[in-house]
Chain A
């Protein structure tokens, strides 16, 4: 950082006309609040208001382009009686749980591998992040082709490698479709885990490992008693992030399966989209989206408090 050595231009006295006003805006709290006001107003108008309006919508029976009628918790009652809704709940938890564990384990593995010294490390790190930075929809289209029912390259390899007579129907069978979604989600999210955990690993002082080695700790002990405890805060934050955004995922499912076959891969977001956008029932759709809120709110509040403290 190069410091400015030339003198700071001093304020002229041209504002003498309104010295009182100027003095007022120079007060720390006034300056801060004036500065914060425009972005806060923007966020309240376009995040706070839609959020509140969404809650209102969920309490209405509201076919598209018609005035709604207030029906209290009617939409939520409809959801709870809808077997598809419960299927969606189950799908979302399976998808989030399995994908998060895979990203965690794989990401930690990759971070540990990357934490060794080797040539072109920065290049490798940059390349490994590609799945995370490329627009999700575009890379998912590539996966769709990799998993194509007739021309899947994985199946070609399975068949010609003598492993199977014919490969699985990746997107046509409910369980395989969920498996495929989890695989693609892991593919995309793993680099985020790995690179963040790697950054965390690099903050651990080498002396600690040396001290542990002198005390007779083996590689496994060093991992368990030095690496893991010191990595815990990073692991916590990355996991919370991943949980929030995997739980509310939309793009991947919309592109790869549209929730099918037979709702086997619908998540809250895609199901809400189907009901509201395709089915035109805004109130009911809003209620499905809001059903995500209780578990999400817990995660969001916990993480927001934690981040603010840090």
Chain B
């Protein structure tokens, strides 16, 4: 930790293990990219060395965008993720602010309920949820997932924001209260503008979770025009027992890129959100 090591020690302690983890983490992405660029005769020739492309082609991408509803699924995914993230941030703030700042009867119970709800995994709820959505007549509508994703995201947002809110000093709010601002004014005009980093962390995290969701989308969305990318890829790019690997890899790559781009802009916020619960 403190001592200075020569390069062999450093190679052994840093670069060797780091290289191993990097290859393990990144190889599937390399494989996606390279497969999506290979023409079929290269893809399905077991004699060829598979780690490189000999004759790169964009045919799989052209087919994916031209022959399937991939762009529709992408649009649906973005729309659903945006709406459910927005709902979750609003509701999450409404839970987090009183919990972080105020004393009220039952606050201990509410904060326990929020933490517990955050941890209730979807598979515990999907069967009754399927029936409820069906009964509400929301099957095959984007509304069904826009309503259900926030159930996964609100507790998470509330909890992350609560931690952030507690880290903001109270002085400004106290001053505003003394100057005669109402509680609502204090919250909206004084407090929330100070919490932008917290909102970005919670928002990014919620957005990636919403894009990642699969189980509810799989159950509620069976029509191609309302599908999201993960369900569309599984349900429609795999036709029977035939796998169009080139197209599938193109879809996996294209579907991952928006998340990766958004993430790359906000890595620090994302990491802050990721570790907020565990590290104080």
| Chain A residues within 8 Å of B, Cβ to Cβ | 1, 3-4, 7-11, 22, 25-26, 28-29, 31-33, 35-36, 38-40, 42-43, 46-47, 49-51, 53-54, 57, 106, 109-110, 113-114, 116, 118, 122, 124-131, 133-139, 141-143, 145-146, 148, 150-151, 153, 156, 160, 187, 190-192, 194-196, 199-200, 203, 206, 209-210, 213, 219, 222, 233-234, 237-238, 241, 244-245, 247-248, 250-251, 254-255, 268-269, 272-273, 276-277, 282, 285-286, 289-290, 292-293, 296, 299-301, 303-305, 307-308, 310
Contact = CB atoms under 8 A, between A and B. Distances in A.
A300 B1 contact: no
Contact of B18 (A124, A136, A206): A124
Nearest to A219: B1
Contacts of B131: 53, 57, 282
Given A38-B94, A46-B147, A300-B116, A145 B245 contact: yes
A68 to B, nearest CB: 10
B256 A42 contact: no
A10 B180 contact: yes
B259 A142 contact: no
Interface string B136-175: 0000000000011011001100110000000010001001
A292 to B, nearest CB: 6
Given A11-B181, A136-B214, A142-B249, A286 B102 contact: no
A42 B148 CA distance: 10
B270 interface: yes
Contacts of A26: 182-183
A277 to B, nearest CB: 7
A29 B275 contact: no
30 contacts: A8-B176, A9-B181, A22-B182, A29-B103, A42-B151, A51-B120, A51-B128, A57-B128, A106-B21, A125-B271, A127-B26, A129-B271, A131-B25, A133-B208, A133-B263, A134-B260, A139-B29, A146-B27, A151-B245, A191-B25, A194-B21, A199-B278, A241-B119, A248-B123, A273-B123, A289-B127, A293-B124, A300-B119, A303-B115, A305-B112
Instruction: Return the 4 tightest CB-CB contacts between A and B, nearest first.
Output: A269-B123, A248-B121, A32-B98, A137-B230
Contacts of B111: 308
B128 A50 contact: yes
Nearest to A288: B127
Contacts of A156: 46, 49-50
A39 B14 contact: no
Contact of B190 (A8, A50, A293, A303): A8
Nearest to A64: B131
Interface residues of B, number: 113
A51 B259 contact: no
Given A40-B95, A135-B229, A304-B115, A53 B110 contact: no
A40 B251 CA distance: 38
A42 B154 contact: yes
Interface in B211-260: 211-212, 214-215, 218-219, 229-231, 233-234, 243, 245, 248-249, 251-252, 255-256, 259-260
Contacts of A233: 278
A200 B279 contact: yes
A10 B46 CA distance: 76
Given A50-B128, A139-B252, 12 more contacts: A39-B95, A39-B158, A125-B271, A126-B267, A133-B259, A141-B249, A142-B28, A142-B32, A210-B2, A248-B121, A248-B124, A250-B214
Nearest to B21: A110
Interface string B98-139: 110011110110111101111111111111111110000000
Given A8-B189, A138-B230, A255-B234, A308 B51 contact: no
A245 B278 contact: no
A273 B126 CA distance: 9
Contact of B279 (A3, A139, A141, A199): A199
